[in-house]
Structures are given as structure tokens and as C-alpha cells.
Structure 1
Amino acid sequence: MHDLRFIRENPESFDEGLRARGADPAAQAVLRLDEKRRALTTRVQEAQSRRNEASKAIGKAMGQGDTETADRLKAEVTELKQTLPALEEEDRALATELNDLVARLPNLPAAGVPEGADEDDNQEVERWGSPREFSFEAREHADIGPALGLDFETGAAISGARFTFLRGQMARFQRAIAQFMLDFQTVERGYMECAPPLLVRDEAVFGTGQLPKFAEDLFRTTDGRWLIPTAEVSLTNSVREQIIEDLSSPLRLTALTPCFRSEAGAAGRDTRGYIRQHQFDKVELVTVCRPEDWQAEHDHMVASAEAILQKLDLPYRKMLLCTGDMGATAKKTYDLEVWLPGQNAYREISSISWCGDYQARRMNARYRPEGAKKTEFVHTLNGSGLAVGRTLVALLENGQQADGSVCIPDALKPYCGGLEKLEPVT
């Protein structure tokens, strides 16, 4: 959500930010509706004030025996009571129309974010690790996995496309990856572990920006709740409608949860394998902080995700996303892309975004600066630390051996009950 005062004072720069995002200019449409609504609100307030004044004056006139004045005032109050409901309803309708218009607009990009249309215009910041050289032809995880317990056929038979059934050592391996990530983020990086709801109400998905524009990407239950597409929704909304009295230390939250996405916008992409699923596990990182702390927290979050890849010895590159490739709620985003030798390509495994006060305004999440009477909106950040399934894919492809086995990284061995390798099951 955007600050209407900012739009009033900076209509040209606001439209310039939208243009950079590939969106149409909207400042004039917002301002016309805002002016109309403010004028109507003034009329409503004046009418309400006059009704109250006249009502009080009736008693005074009656007490003075001035029935003529009392009757005139009664008629005026009666007329106001008849006309006010329509004015108030029109005011509410205009407020809803204005809020809906502003709610559909993307966040404005931060200074320094490169302009561009899509992923081809993203900027590579740095690389870590060297892709392994194989003495045999590297295979994709979809070819390695079935012999190790990655059962695509059973998942599809039970639930349809983009579902997978994990068995035996593969199920344990995925659990080990998730536990390692969660332990690292809580013990080493200072995030508080949470176990949030997986089903949320409309207000929650509106607060983090999935509604109203991206409803088709979500799953909705018959009672009107939504399955979370990421724990970002639950964790970020844990501060909705709150005033945090002390935010001198950023609030860092993490959760390991299943995530659910319809992948409506990804038809035909990654239909084979385990990369793009309707249901997947992810360790999510969320930070709520003061505006002046966002840069340090963004750096901390990016480093927290990078550290997982480094400990698992997975080569990756860090990308600064362009204006056209960022999510709608983000002001600045870094993607971490892990090397997949089977695909001979880098693929996204974490996206870490600073959202400014965009989500906070939608949630009415505020804090009170030290010594201040007035409150301010918090800033929010979110990122993956990491996507568990995609990490599993990367480990299978990077750790594959000629005999079909997969070596387990040292960091995961304590979580795997002493296993050194994943072995094909005959």
C-alpha cells in the first residue's frame, strides 16, 4: 500500500517508479479519486456536526419556550438524518474504490535497482564456488531421484501433476536438510523459530500483498481461508494491527512450513522433476525493523541464506533483480541461484526482498520511535533460508556419482543418522 500524501506531493516521481516497474501511470487517477473522496468526507463531517449541534439546540429552545425555533431545528435534524446515510454510504464506497486502486499498484523500486523488463536484465553481483567437473555425463535430478526414493509416479497418481511422494532415505534426507537449515538460522543467525498457521484469512494475504491481484496463484478452502504460499504470510502478519513499543532490536522470525502454490503463472515451466511443486517445504526468514535498519537487515538476511549454500558446498551466484523481475511488494531483491550441473544452469533457490513500509501500511503495523509520541510504520523483509526441495535437487545433482549414488555433505551427516551416501534401491 502506498502513502497518499507521498502521491499528492510527488505525482511525477510516483508515476516514474510505476513506469520502471512496467506499470501504467496512476497518480492522476489516484489523486482525482482522493480529492473527490476528501471533499465528500468533509461534507459528511459537516453534516454530522450540524446534526449534533441542532439536536442540542432543540433542548435549549424548548427550555426557553421557543417552540418555533425548536420545530425548525427538529425539521432540520429530520432532514439530515434522512440524507446522511446516503452520504455516508457514498463516502464508504469511494474509500473502498480508492483503497482498491492503490492496493493493486506495485511497490516503487529503490534507488540503484536496475531498470529492465525481465530476468534477462538482472545484474550478477558475485559468484561463490566452482562448478564440479564430472568424469561422466551429469544427469538431472529427475533421472537420479527415482532410484533413491523420489517417486514422481505415486505423487501424481495420488494428487495429480506437480506432486511427489518421497520414500525411505529420500524422505529422511529432505527432513535432514530442513532441520539443518532451521537449526542454523535459529542458533547461528539469531532468528526466532515459530510454528505459524498454514491456513489464513483474507486480511493476512492482503497484508503481504497476494490479494487482490494474485489470488489465482493461491489455493483457497471452501470456508474462505487460504493455504499459505509461504510462511512469509503468517510470520509478517504476526505484527498486523500492532504498535511495537521497542524496535531498537529488529524482530527476526523463521519457520519451517509446507507451502502451497497453484503455479497458475508457470504453465508449461518445470513440469518435469521436483523444482516447481504445488506443495513444498521451505525455511522462511522474516524481519520487522525500523526504517533506518533495513539495509543492515537486508545484508544480514542475504548472508544467512548464502551461508547455507556455502556450508553445503553448493556453487551459486547472487543476482540483483531488475525492476521488471521483482515481486510486486518488493523495493529491492537479491536472488541466489544455485548451480545445477544436470541442467548446466543456475536456478533460483532463494529470493530476499526489502519491502519498505508497503506491507506495513496494508497491515497497519507500526512502532513508536524512542522518545516520540507519534508512531511510524515498520519496514518488513522476507526471504528463503532456503527452499528445501530445490536444495535437495541441488544436492542430488552436485553430489551424484557414476554408480547412481549421491554423496551427503558433511554438514548434513549428523542429521542423517550416519549415512554417507544415498544409495540406489534395487
Structure 2
Amino acid sequence: MSFRQISSARNHQKMRFHDGLPEGWNRDRFRQLCVSYAQIRGVSAQCIRTFEIIIDMISPSAFRDPSQEPFCYARQETLIAGRGVTDRTIHNHERELEAIGLIERRLGANGSRCKRKGLGLFLTPALNLISEMLDAEVQSKAEKKEHDELRGDRSRLYQYVKHSLAVLASLPCPPDGASDMMDEFGSWPRADKLKYLSLDELRAHVQAAHDLWKRIEGHVAKRGEISGEPEASFGCHIQDQIEEKILSCNAGGEVTMPSANASDPDCSGSGPNGPAHCLESNHPTETEPHKAKKLPRVNNRILYELASPDLRMHIDSAGDGEQNPNPTLYAIETGVCSRLSEIGTNISGWHAAIDRLTIMGAILAGVITDARLSDPKLPPVVNPGGYLRGMVKADERGELNLISSFMGLLARRAREEEDGLPQDHKNRI
């Protein structure tokens, strides 16, 4: 035997040892990790079921004792067990599981297995792969979270772009390039197709959608170019028309959304026909009167001034990435949603606030929730998500007074300015 063969044999023998399961783990916890890893690697459901049968046939003590290797010596006929699959299918499953590092096949002639001879399907490679599987699981969860956030961002952009194009198209003299922007908007994939895009593809699409929104915003921001010069005390009425119609989406790309027809000059009537809970659906024709009465009249500048330094960072990031004392409504909505997620609020709580309080009410509730985290005169908020949901439930009971909360936050900011703030906070204001 050559030195290379001896070295290879020693390395192979070394890999047949393991350190057992981590402290506090059992076979079921290990199986869950392996199944999660197999799903991440794209293994089929039938193959995963085969693996579960294999691991269930091994004694739990074999996974804890480093002196013995856990292995399954059951015949293929046993693994089939009335599942309606063939021997060839089981053979392919075993090869696939071995390819991703969960098992090692040590078989006799013609694939025979024997407990006495130590022949069968060994799970030692999976035990030695625990740290890598844990890392893959963490990365997969992070990518899924980013994917969900990107789909939510696209849903918000959809509403802003759709209504902005509708306003531009209704002008007597639409700006140059309006038709091209409508064509680009009409080429967007439907909401129910977004979940099938890879993370890189979705990132590129959302970035392109954001760039389109910025181009449209550039036309709207050119005062006097397409709407006439407004009075000094009033903003551009085109921007007002756009922001009054804005909704966000809570469906996460799970409902069918027909994209706007590029040939139609008015995109506002081409929204999706999904269920009512989808905020990427059409704007409701009627708004409950009690909602409008309970909201204070605020503008984007006031909302930005009331925001905490951390919330302003999210708003600036959602805009151009630079400090802007008068951000767009899109930047404010996206920033509030991102900040609430950062402090532990579930996305379903944000959607519930939008459904009940409208977009502006949800934004105000989010600003107030974030401000409560740093209020020195009140008990600290342990659960921001519960606090936001409590505001929604208070509105359902008719007990929510956003105007009073808004005035209280205004008074608090005034006191903080009089008392003096840390230099970094002053710079932000």
C-alpha cells in the first residue's frame, strides 16, 4: 500500500468518528435540523421522508455515544413500507442524501445491509456537519426575511408608482418620457410571481422599481414645469394628489396582481383583484368617517421632526440615503415599517394598523410607538409590537385618540429642545 493510500485510509477512518450531539440535544432536534438543511439544499419532499424513516430506525442513544456510529441497516423494502415508490426511487434518495452530506452508504454486494457486519446507511457525516447546518439555517432565515421585506417594499412602490403615473397621465401636457415610464411599470412581474424570484433577482427588480419611482418623483418635484407654480404657502398639488391615494401592501406577494396595462393612460383603474386583505389591491371607494376624524393634520416635515434619531436614519435610508427634513411619504412609510421591524414588531402588527387606522394613522402610531421607547417620564415599553396592537384594539373599542398622543409628542419634543439634547440629536433636528 502506498503512502497516499495509507493517508487516504486514515482520513477516511477519522471521519467515521463523531462528538455526539450538542449538549441538551436529542434525536428529534437533530432530525429537525437535518430536514431543514435538506430543504435548503433543495431535496424533494419524498427524499426527506425517506431520510426521516432512516433516522427513526436508529436508536436515540447511538447519536449521543461517540464510541458508536448511528446507522440504519433496514432493507430497501422496509424503507418503502407501502409508500408507493420503487426500489430505484429509494436508491436515488440514498444517493441524493449522500451527495449533500447527510449519510454515508457502506453497503455489501448488491447493496446488502447487515447489522452484524456493520453495513448500512451511516449518519456520522451528518453529525460532523452540525455546525455547517446551523450556519446554513441562520443564513436561510436571514435571506427569507430579506425576501419578505423586499416584496413588501415592492408592494409599497407599486402603489406609489401606479398613482403617480395616473396623476401625470391626467395632465393636459404629460411630461416627456411618461409613456416609457408606463411601459416599464406595465412590465413589472405580478405580486404572486415575486416569491418565485431569487433573492438577487428580487433585489434587482426592487432597485429598478425604486429608480422608476425616483424618476417620476423628479417630474413631480419640478414646481411649475407641469402643474403651474404654486403659491408660496402651498405645496405642489400634484404631490398632494399622489399622496392622498397611497396605500401599502400586506399580502407579501401571495395574491394575484394583474399589472397595469401600459397602453392605458390611467393606471389607477388597473389594480389587482386580490382579496381585501391585500394592500396592493384597489383603493377602497369609501373610507370610514371615524378614521378621518381621529387623525391630526400633519405634513411630512412635521413627521420627520417628531421622529427619533433612529427612525430618521431609517427614513433617510429609504429616501436618497441622505438627511432630508422634508422626505417623501414613501420614505416615511418605509422607514417606519423598517424601524418597527428593528425594535421587534411583527409585520402582521404593522399590517393590522394599516387596515384599521389607514396609512397615515399607522405611520403616526408607528412614530408614537417608537418614541415611547425613549420616554423618560413613562414606564419603558417592553413589547413594542404589543403596544402597537394595543393601539389598534383601542381604536376598535373607540378609545384611541391619536390627536392627543400626537399633541403629547409635540409637547415632549418642545420640552426636550428647551432642556437641551445631546449634540448628535440636535444635529439631526
TM tier relative to shorter chain = under 0.3
- The structure where strand makes up a greater share of residues is 1
TM-score (normalizing by structure 1): 0.22
Structure number with higher relative contact order (C-alpha < 8 Å, ≥ 6 residues apart) = 1
- The structure where helix makes up a greater share of residues is 2
TM-score (normalizing by structure 2): 0.22
